[in-house]
Structure formats: C-alpha cells, structure tokens
Amino acid sequence: MPLPHPRVLICERGDAVVLAVRRALAGLDVRTVRTVTADDARAELARVPRSVVTVEVAERSLAATLELIDAARRVRECRLVAVLPRGMERFEPLLRELGAVHVVVSARDLSCVREIVERHLLEPLRQASREVPFADTFGQPERMFAEAMSRLPWAN
C-alpha cells in the first residue's frame, strides 16, 4: 500500500503559526491543512494519521489542546510540535511528557518543522521508492549487512 501524501496539520486560531510553517516548508512537496479547533484537528488526524501536527497552545483552550496532544501521542505515525506563547513556558515538560517531539516559544522558531517533516514524512517515501539491491550480495553477509546499515536514517 502506498504511503499517503506528506502533510502538516496546523491547529491554531491566528495566522502566525500557519505563515511560519509554510515559510519553513517552502520548496517541499508537502500539504498543509489548517484547523481552528482541537476537535477538527483530531478528526483530520484520524483521517490521515501519518502527519506532523503543529499545535498552538493557548490558555483559553488548554484542556482541548492537551486532549489533542494526548490523542496524537497515541497515533504511532504522528509527530507533534507545540507552540507556546510567552508566559506559558512552564508547560513545556508536560507537553514533552505527553509526546511533543519539539516545543517552541515563538512561531519564528518553527524552522524545526522542516527537519521533522523531512525526517518523518519525506525520507520514508524516498526509501520506499528505492529498489533493494541485495541480489548481487547473496551469499556475502558482511556486504549485505554493510549495505543495509548504510541505508538507515542515522547512517548519514
């Protein structure tokens, strides 16, 4: 089964996070989907679980946002980035414990989303499109092992 098209789900009420994420992803073949409520984001995540979710954390909707983050943690294919407003830095440990792979305090710091998208969404697509060149290494376990190790994400 082919992997779904890479996408970044952005949950926020304003425009700063959307603009920063789109700027960070410039040049990449990645869709961005914007939702305003945590319920809409959960529905989108259920529809396409292989996503990077960028969520703006706000005190007025903290409970719903924490539920979204917890729901994203339960989806193995999802990675979550939380954007905290200034003054809410004390929530960073909680957000990380709930499963956020990255926490930023300003939308200007969202350049990290590009790296997460490349590593989590795009690299598996590139690997799936490559042929496995093991045919010429049959009977040579050391060479087979070396080639397999060279294709791992952390080998570069």
For residue 130, is pLDDT > 80?
no
Start-to-end CA span in the chain (Å): 27
Query: What SS3 class is residue 100?
Result: strand
The beta-carbon contacts of 82-89 under 8 Å, at least 24 apart in sequence, are 82/55, 82/57, 83/12, 83/17, 83/54, 83/55, 83/56, 83/57, 83/107, 83/110, 84/57, 85/56, 85/57, 85/58, 88/57, 88/59
pLDDT of res. 3: 57
The token pair at 15 is 């425009």
Provide the percentage of residues in the chain whose pLDDT is more than 90: 21
pLDDT tens for 105-123 read: 988 888 888 888 888 877 7
Sign of the alpha-carbon dihedral angle for 130, 134, 137, 141 = positive
Q: Residue 48: which pLDDT band, with cuts at 50, 70 and 90? A: confident
Query: What SS3 class is residue 9?
Result: strand
For residue 40, is pLDDT > 80?
yes
Averaged confidence pLDDT in the chain: 83
- Structural domains in the chain plus CATH codes: 7-155 (3.40.50.2300)
Report d(CA 51, CA 124) in Å as an integer. 13
Q: Residue 143: which pLDDT band, with cuts at 50, 70 and 90? A: confident
Arithmetic mean of pLDDT, 9-14: 89
Strand runs (DSSP E) across the chain, as ranges? 7-11, 31-35, 52-56, 79-83, 100-104
